[in-house]
Structure 1
Amino acid sequence: MNISRVRRPWRIAAAGLIAGAVLLSSGCGHGDKSPSWQGGADQAQGDGTGTDDASPSPSPTLSTVAVVSPAADATGVTAITEIKYTSEDPENTSVTVTDASGDEVKGTLDKDDKVWRPEKALAYGTKYTVTVNGTASEGKGGTASSTFTTMAKPSKIVRVTSFLGDGQKVGVGMPLIIKFSRAIPASYRDDVERRMTVTATPAQEGSWGWISPTEVHYRPKVFWKANSKVFYKVRLAGVPLGSGYYGKSDLTVDLNIARSFVMTVSNKTKQMTVKQDGKVIKTLPVSLGKASTPSSSGTMVVMEKMKHTVFDTTDTDPVNGYKTPIDFAQRITWSGQFIHAAPWSEGKQGRVNVSHGCVNVSEAMGAWLFSRTMMGDPITVSGTEEKLKQGNGWTDFNVSYSEWKKLSYLK
């Protein structure tokens, strides 16, 4: 989808960080707006022949560094502001930013674009000093400094939360889920994505996709590689998010991907095939949804596990609803489809569909599966009368990767 946007001066240019230092522009390095010239015209001395055999006077040199933005003595500056500077010799130019106490602020320097970016949001209501130093080399030197003051702490904030936490272990089909306390305007979503970075070990291609204005998921191109390490970071503290709202804080999550455990169900054969790390470890009979309440065909993941529960549909269907104790229930859709033990249908499993849309297995196989699965393990059902609706569960892998990438605002 193509979204037109107004470019904003505070926009962060990339999702990854670029190491470096800070550069500033002010004028001539002497606090004066006029050029500072060095050297002068030395009058040549005659050689006694009566001719003016003067040597050319040396070319004047101009200090070549300056702070472009924020403007000198600017106030109300956003906490994630970029420092822009000029330099004719950026490779030999350094930038430092210090706070009111004189402590240096950590940041990254892009020498190609001549931009310094803070590692994290600056403190609110604080005065900062920027100093750009150009090493004297072939006349390309000079020093420039400037000060600015950040905006007051905003009263309108957007909280960001992660469904997953540090140290968790999840299945290979688990998406990374980020939620916002307020809808993010479409014109700001590309900026948000650039500030959300995912690092997988080993490296794996992937993309963010917007599920709604308040929720964004990340999935790899294919299922996560077994036993991967995944680290993701969301840097939204101080970031403008529209209508006077700003991101409240940053967050990081460090998690683990477990072994590969993939379930495949065929309506044609009424069998489930279970593979662990690519090898078939079990084939078991199932009973799917009958014609009036078909199971969904598509790729889902285990979202919730309950060893013992009660299915109660009497609230939504007082006439035909039921209330039944269930063992080894594993939710795979929001609409109420589960993998679960169904001892009452064991004689039908592998032969005919009799469920209300769930994947029925025997009591013994229900216990066997329950002891081995975890949140994020994928299950793909095929050949039923109904296709899985996107969003009915964590359906991120139910579409091709090319379709998934269309949900991103980074083009």
Structure 2
Amino acid sequence: MRRRTLVGVLLAAAAVPSVAACQSENGTGAAAGTGAGPSASPSATPPSFTVTPAAAAVDVRPDAPVTVAVADGKLTDVTVTAPDGTPVPGALDAAGTTWSSQAPLTVATAYTVHAVAAGSSGASATHDSTLTTLTPGATAFPAVAPLSGREVGVGMPVIVTFDSPVAKDRRRVVEQNLHVTVTPAPVAGSWSWQSDSKVEYRPEQYWPAHSQVHVDIDLGAVEVAPGVWGKTRDIDFTIGSAMVSTVDIAAHTLTVTRDGQVVKTIPVTLGQSGSGGKFVTRSGTKVIMSLEASRQMNSETTGIGQNDPNYYNVNVKYALRVTNSGEFLHAAPWSASSQGRANVSHGCTGMSTEDAKWMYDNSKVGDVVVYTGSDRGIEPGNGFTVWNETYQQWQQGSALSA
């Protein structure tokens, strides 16, 4: 019995060192890993990024926004850069955790994305990636009148004609990316769709004389029809003096004003009556479309053949076109005896060669010629006819008016 007791004591004494080996350094006796005492400091969690479009994305739509978001931190620097170093504008949200682009991208362009974030625990992280925008399979080129650098009259509309139709449901976004700026003072104006490939702009009133106009066609990132993208263009032109003429068809006179002052009154002859009224000069507000020092006028282009008594084929001097259908102001020396007295033309405004040359020398594309005194009105689209509607009527053709 004593032997068994001694063995038990010895065994208990031998067990003491192993128990001490499991004690903490402060002697509390808590075993490591039990969580009963102070734990080690956790490792810092670095910020993590979510970038849209994803890294190495290709065929990215240029109208798709670029976003950089961070978790476990805040963004301190974000740049999205084109190959030439041009940055894409963007902004951080109030929390400083999401950056979003604020301008469209350019098609067929590779961009680099660089972002830096500071973590809440002191850690930081950097992200670098690339994305490439799509290359359009088809584009719609916008031809613009007037051309850049031209001086035009106060009645000249801005005409944008696309070589590919614009989808009806895309007209609104197209208009939102067509910008007209007038200096030195802004004026109200509106676009109006004339067809699925043509949109025209006019101010509420005639352009201010001696002003500058800038047209920004920012359609490079606009899909104008399924799979068809626009183009970007900038046009600058000048408005010259305010040349506004009035033709009184019944009185056979043309009165010319420049910047509000009458500068010349010219006796004229207009379209004759009879023949079913097809030669009567149209009333309405017309705009000079072109100036030609000479022009061959052949009635066959208007459907009057050589066997018709009204047939003509003559070269005229100083021709100023005002309609698509063939109305001009021009020299007509053969009708000198009727000028100021009777209407004997086939619809044109005839005058002496001297007066026609004066008009040619002093006029420009975009000058206004208002015709009054006949019951035949100008048809919409028969020339630059934008001033034959009220401004409210004109605005109804805008996709933004809905």
Q: 1:314 to 1:268 in 2, by over 3 A?
A: closer
Question: 80, 105, 114: which one pairs with 1:97?
Answer: 80
Could you state the TM-score of these two structures normalised by the residue count of structure 2?
0.75
Q: Which residue of 2 aligns with 1:235?
A: 218
| C-alpha deviation, 1:161, in angstroms | 2.0
Residue type of the alignment partner of 1:209: S
376, 382, 396: which one aligns with 1:406: 396
Shift of 1:117: 2.9
| Aligned residue number for residue 227 of structure 2 | 244
Structure showing greater Rg: 2
Q: How far apart, CA to CA, are the structure 2 residues paired with 1:134 and 1:172?
A: 58
- Counterpart Cα distance in 2 of 1:134 and 1:81: 27
Deviations 1:201-224 (A, max 9, x none): 021111111121111111111111
2:366 is aligned to 376
**Where do residues 247-396 of structure 1 align in structure 2 (5 Å cutoff)?**
247=230, 249-291=231-273, 292=277, 293-314=279-300, 316-318=303-305, 319-320=307-308, 321-396=311-386
Contact (CA 8 Å) 2:246, 2:369: kept in 1 or not?
A: yes
CA contact (8 A) 2:64 2:104 kept: no
Higher mean displacement: 212-221 or 232-241: 232-241
Task: Identify if the C-alpha distance between structure 1 residues 196 and 130 changes in structure 2 by more than 3 Å, giving closer, same or farther.
Answer: farther
CA 1:205–1:95: 2 relative to 1, 3 Å: farther
1:4-83 matched pairs, under 5 angstroms? 69-70=52-53, 74-83=57-66
- Are the equivalent residues in 1 in contact too, given 2:107–2:134 (CA < 8 A)? no
Query: Could you say what secondary structure the match of 2:362 adopts?
Result: coil
Counterpart amino acid of residue 230 in structure 1: V
Q: Does 1:213 align with 2:196?
A: yes
Secondary structure in 2 matching 1:190:
helix
Name the amino acid aligned to 1:108.
P
Question: What is the alpha-carbon distance in structure 2 between the residues aligned to residue 383 and residue 232 of structure 1?
Answer: 36
Q: Distance in 1 between matches of 2:374 and 2:190?
A: 30
**1:280-318: CA deviation from partner (whole Å, max 9, x where unpaired):** 111222221112311111111111111122210135221
Question: What secondary structure, in the 3-state scheme, does the structure 2 residue paired with 1:314 have?
Answer: helix
Whole-angstrom CA distance in 1 between matches of 2:78 and 2:188: 34
Name 1:50's counterpart in structure 2: none
User: Which residue number corresponds to residue 167 of structure 2?
Assistant: 185
> Could you tell me which amino acid in structure 2 is paired with residue 306 of structure 1?
E
Cα deviation, 1:251-285, whole Å, max 9, x if unaligned, reads 11111111111111122322211110111111222
How many Å apart are 1:81 and its aligned residue? 2.7
- Corresponding residue number in structure 2 for 1:36: none
Post-superposition shift, 1:233?
A: 1.3
Instruction: Assess, with a 3 A threshold, how the Cα gap between structure 1 residues 357 and 132 changes in structure 2: closer, same or farther.
Output: farther
Residue 212 of structure 1 aligns to a residue whose secondary structure is coil
Distance 1:288 1:132 in 2: 75
Letter in 1 for 2:304: D
- Cα contact 1:342–1:361 (8 A) shared by 2: yes
Note closer, same or farther for the CA distance 1:350–1:63 as it changes in structure 2 (3 Å cut). farther
Paired position in structure 2 for 1:3: none
Question: Given that residues 331 and 339 in structure 1 are in contact (C-alpha distance below 8 angstroms), is that contact kept between their aligned partners in structure 2?
Answer: yes
Q: TM-score, normalised by structure 1?
A: 0.74
CA gap of 1:225–1:181, structure 2 versus 1, over 3 A, is same
Match of 1:226, SS state, is: coil
- 1:106 and 1:119 in contact (8 A); partners too: no
Deviation, 1:155, is: 2.1
Give the equivalent residue in structure 2 for 1:40: none
C-alpha separation in 1, matches of 2:119 and 2:153: 53
Partner of 2:14: none
Q: Note if contact 2:62-2:104 (Cα within 8 Å) is conserved in structure 1.
A: no
Distance 1:69 1:269, change over 3 A: farther
Cα RMSD of the aligned pairs, angstroms, is 3.2
Deviation of the 1:189 alpha carbon:
1.1
- Would you tell me which structure has more helix in proportion to its own residues? 2
Contact 2:53 2:131 in 1 (8 A): no
Partner of 1:131: 115
User: Aligned residues: percent identity?
Assistant: 32
Matches of 1:252 and 1:135, distance apart in 2: 45
Q: Distance in 2 between matches of 1:331 and 1:408?
A: 28
2:169 counterpart letter in structure 1: S
